[in-house]
Structure 1
Amino acid sequence: MHRIAAIESFLVPPRWVFVRIETDKGAVGWGEASLEGHAEAVVGALDAAADRLVGADASRIEDMWQMLYRLGFYRGGPVLMSALSGIDQALWDLKGRLLGVPVSDLLGGRVRDRIRVYAWIGGDRPADVADAARERREQGFDAVKMNGTEDMEWLSGPASIAEAVERLRLVRETGMDVGVDLHGRVHKPMARQVIRALEPHGPLFIEEAVLSEHPEAIAQLAAQACAPLALGERLYSRWDFKPFFEAAAIDIAQPDLSHAGGISECRRIAAMAEAYDVALAPHCPLGPLALAACFQVAAASPNFIIQEMSIGIHYNHADADLLTYMTNPGVLHVEGGMVPVLEGPGLGVEIDEAKVREAAKQGHRWRNPVWRGRDGGLREW
C-alpha cells in the first residue's frame, strides 16, 4: 500500500498551478489545478485538503474525491473544485504509473486512436485572424477557435455584428473549421441576432453565447439556433451541468478538467452528456497536465469530438508555453488535425521537475484585463 506523504503546489508561468503528490514509498503523480486569475486561492484550498489526505491510501481515488467534496460542508465552486481537480489528476497519474498503464486503460480502455484538436487564434481582441488561421494550418491543425467579438454593449448596433461575421468569413475562407467563442460577452438582447448572423457562415460551434448563469436564456437560444451551442467552462460538477442537459440547452459540453473535479468528475459528466446525446469537447486553455488529463478522458469517451489545445495561445509566451515543462513534448505533435492517444503510463506526459521548481520561484500573479465601455461601465472580458 502507498500512503500519501506530501502534496505540493507550484505556481508556474504563465498562469498555471501544478500539483505534485508523493507517497511514503517515493511514487509521484502530477496534476494541474490552474484557475486563471485565482491561483493563490486554489493554493490555500490545496493546503487545507492536505490536512485530510496525508496518510491516506493513495489508491482510493473515489473515496478521497467524495471526502473532499462532501465533508468540507461547503461544496462546489471554482476554487474548491479546482483544488480537487488537481489532486484527482495527480492521483490518477500516480495510479497509472504504479500499474504501468495510461489512465484511459483504467477508465475502460480507449475507443479511438487519435484525438482531434484545435488551437486559438486572434487573442482577446481578434484581429488578423485569417493569417493566424493559415499559420495554424501549417502547424498541423485543421480547426481553430477565436473570440467572436470584442467587448460588446448590452445593446449594440449592427456594425458590431457585421465585424463578427466578417472575421468568421475570413477564417472560413482559409478552409479551416472554426469554433466561435462569444465568451459570455454577449447579453440576451444581442445574442439571438449574433447567432443568426453567424450561422450562414458555418461555425463549427458557438461557445458561451450568454453566461451560464442564465440557463433560461440559453434554453431559448437553443430552441432557435441551428449551429451547435457549446458551454461548460464555468460549470464545476455534474450537478451544475444537469439542468442544461435536462432542458436540452446545449449540444456540446465543455467541462474543464482543472475546474470541474478532475478526471473522475469529468468522466461522469461525459457519460451524463452521452445519455442526452450531447457531445464532449473539454475546455483547456491551460498547461500540459490539464491537457493530458483531457486526452485520457477523450480516449475513453465515445461522445468526445474535439479538444482545445493551448500551444501558442495568447496567454502563453516563449518561455512558458504548453511544451515548456515537458521532457517528452513529441507526444503532443499535431498532424492532420490530430494527436495520437497518449500511451505512456499515468497521464502520459513527463514533467521536468527541476524546471518546475525553478519557475515556481518566480511564480505568477496573472489577472485578466478589466474592460470598460465608452460610458465607463464594466464590460465582460
Structure 2
Amino acid sequence: MKINDVRLTIVGIPRETGFVSKHIIIELFSDVGITGVGEMSDFSHLPRYAVAVEDLTLSLKTILIGKDPFDLTLINRELVENFPEMQNLYEKGSIIRNGVDTALYDMCGKFLNVSVSDLLGGRMRDKIKVCYPIFRHRLMEEVEDNLAIVRKRYEEGFDVFHLYVGKNVDADEAFLHGIKQEFGSKIKIKSIDFSNLLDWKKALQVVDRLAKYDFELIESPTDRNDFEGLHHFRMRVKHPVSEHVWSFKQLYDMIKFDSLDIFNISPIFIGGLTGAKKAAAVAAVCGKSCLLGTTQELSIGTAAMAHLGGTLENLDYTSDPTGPKLYVGDIVKEPVKYENGYLILPDRKRAGLGLELDWVEIEKYRVPDLSWENVSVHQLQDRTADGRK
C-alpha cells in the first residue's frame, strides 16, 4: 500500500462559549482505495500566525506521496525535519504532525482491519475518566455563569471539573466556595490550571490561598520552560504537579530537574500518537504518572486520544478530552460517546479510528482559511466569546 494523494479541508466550528475554533481535516488516499483520516485540531492558539493551507498541502504531498503508511518511524522523522519542535506549547508544527500521524494510524488500521488501539499495543481499558473544563474567570460576574455550567454538566453525568485560574483569584475562590457549598463531595475539582501565566512564586501564593478547597493536582504553575522553578514549586506544595509535554527536549529537562509528578501528554502538543506513546513510556520508566491533555479536539482527535489512553499503563489521573461536548457540532456521522463522566473508546470491531466523516456537516462548517482577523489575545488564550474581558 502506498499513499497517492493528500487532501486538507478547513472547518470552523463554534464552541458553546461562542468562540469559533478552526481545524483541518486531513485525508490520506492510497493506491488500494483505503483512506486514512486525521485532524489538525484547533489552530486557534497563540501565536497569532496561521499557515497557508495550499502551501501546506503541497508540502505534505511532497513528503507523503509514494510512502508506505506503515513506515511510521520514517515518516515521523521526516515530519519533524520539516516541522521541527519549537519548545512551545502553541507551536503549529506539532498540530500538523499530529494530524498526519493520526491519519497514518487510521489508514494502517483499516488495511489490517484492526482498531488503532490494537496497533498501539492493545487495550487495558474500554473507557477513560474525563473532566469538564471551567474556563478562566476574568470578572466576578462570570462565577455564577460557571456554576450554572457545572449544574448542567453534572446532570449529564460529569462529576469532575478542570478549573483554569490565575487572572481573578477572588473570582476563583468564589467559584470554589460555591461548588463546596452547593455540591459538597459530589463534585471533584481535578486540577487548578495556571496555564503558565504566573511565575512559580506568584502561583504558590495563589495555591496557599485556595488550598482550603479540595482539588487533586496543580497544572502549569510556572513561566513556560522554567523547569528549575517548577521543581522549587513542586517541593513546596502537597499536591502533585503536572505540566504539558510539548517537546522531547522539554521532557528531558523536566526529568533532569525532577520538576513534576504527572506528565500531561496529548498527541496535539507532542506531534502525534507515535510521540505521545513514546512520551508516556518515558514517564513510566521514570516512575511518573500521566494524564491525557487536550486542546479540545473534535471527534476524530478525541477518538485518537481515546485509543491511546486505552493502552497506557500509567494513566493514573483523570484526563481532559471532552472537546466534542464543548462544540455545537462535529464532522463525523457518529461522534465519540461519553457516559457518566467517562470517554468511551470506539468499538474495537471497527477498523482504524472507527469513525466516518459526515460531509453534510463538513460543508456546513467549511471555511476558506485559518485567519483570526480581529479576535483578541484573551479570546485566543481562553477560547472565549467577545463579551469576556
Give the alignment's TM-score, normalised by structure 2: 0.82
Residue 8 of structure 1 and its aligned partner are, at CA, apart by 1.6
Amino acid at match of 1:11: I
Residue 167 (1) aligns with residue 175 (2): yes
For residue 142 of structure 1, what is the aligned residue in structure 2? 159
For residue 312 of structure 2, what is the aligned residue in structure 1? 301
Task: List aligned pairs for 1:236-275, cutoff 5 A.
Answer: 236-275=246-285
Unmatched 5+ residue regions in structure 1?
Answer: 151-159, 373-380
1:237–1:265 contact (8 Å) kept in structure 2 = no
Q: In 2 relative to 1, CA 123–65 (structure 1 residues): closer, same or farther, beyond 3 Å?
A: same
Amino acid at match of 2:354: G
Could you list the runs of 4 or more consecutive aligned residues of structure 1 that deviate by over 3 angstroms after TM superposition? 37-40, 42-47, 122-126, 160-163, 361-368
2:200–2:223 contact (8 Å) kept in structure 1 = no
Residue 339 (1) aligns with residue 343 (2): yes
For residue 236 of structure 2, what is the aligned residue in structure 1? 224
Q: In 2 relative to 1, CA 146–311 (structure 1 residues): closer, same or farther, beyond 3 Å?
A: farther
**Separation in 1, partners of 2:63, 2:235:** 45
1:31–1:93 contact (8 Å) kept in structure 2 = yes
For residue 84 of structure 1, what is the aligned residue in structure 2? 97
Deviations 1:302-350 (A, max 9, x none): 111322112343xx4x3xx3xx212112xx3322221322223212232
Q: In 2 relative to 1, CA 337–247 (structure 1 residues): closer, same or farther, beyond 3 Å?
A: same
For residue 291 of structure 2, what is the aligned residue in structure 1? 281
Q: In 2 relative to 1, CA 359–336 (structure 1 residues): closer, same or farther, beyond 3 Å?
A: closer
SS of match in other structure, 1:8:
strand
Q: In 2 relative to 1, CA 354–130 (structure 1 residues): closer, same or farther, beyond 3 Å?
A: closer
Q: In 2 relative to 1, CA 339–361 (structure 1 residues): closer, same or farther, beyond 3 Å?
A: closer
How many residues align? The count is 350
Residue 123 of structure 1 and its aligned partner are, at CA, apart by 5.5
SS of match in other structure, 2:37:
strand
Unmatched 5+ residue regions in structure 2?
Answer: 14-21, 380-388
Deviations 1:189-246 (A, max 9, x none): 41110122222312122221123321121111011111122211xx433332121123
Q: In 2 relative to 1, CA 57–311 (structure 1 residues): closer, same or farther, beyond 3 Å?
A: closer
SS of match in other structure, 2:283:
helix
Q: In 2 relative to 1, CA 213–57 (structure 1 residues): closer, same or farther, beyond 3 Å?
A: same
**Separation in 2, partners of 1:29, 1:39:** 28
Task: List aligned pairs for 1:3-22, cutoff 5 A.
Answer: 3-14=2-13, 15-22=22-29
**Separation in 2, partners of 1:263, 1:165:** 37
Which of 84-93 and 132-141 deviates more? 132-141
Give the alignment's TM-score, normalised by structure 1: 0.84
1:16–1:39 contact (8 Å) kept in structure 2 = no
Amino acid at match of 2:6: I
Amino acid at match of 2:64: L
Q: In 2 relative to 1, CA 295–172 (structure 1 residues): closer, same or farther, beyond 3 Å?
A: farther
Amino acid at match of 1:3: K
For 1:65, which of 76, 81, 102 is the aligned residue?
76
Identity between Structure 1 and Structure 2 (%): 21
Residue 360 (1) aligns with residue 369 (2): no
Q: In 2 relative to 1, CA 221–300 (structure 1 residues): closer, same or farther, beyond 3 Å?
A: same
Q: In 2 relative to 1, CA 225–93 (structure 1 residues): closer, same or farther, beyond 3 Å?
A: same
Q: In 2 relative to 1, CA 312–124 (structure 1 residues): closer, same or farther, beyond 3 Å?
A: farther
Amino acid at match of 1:167: F
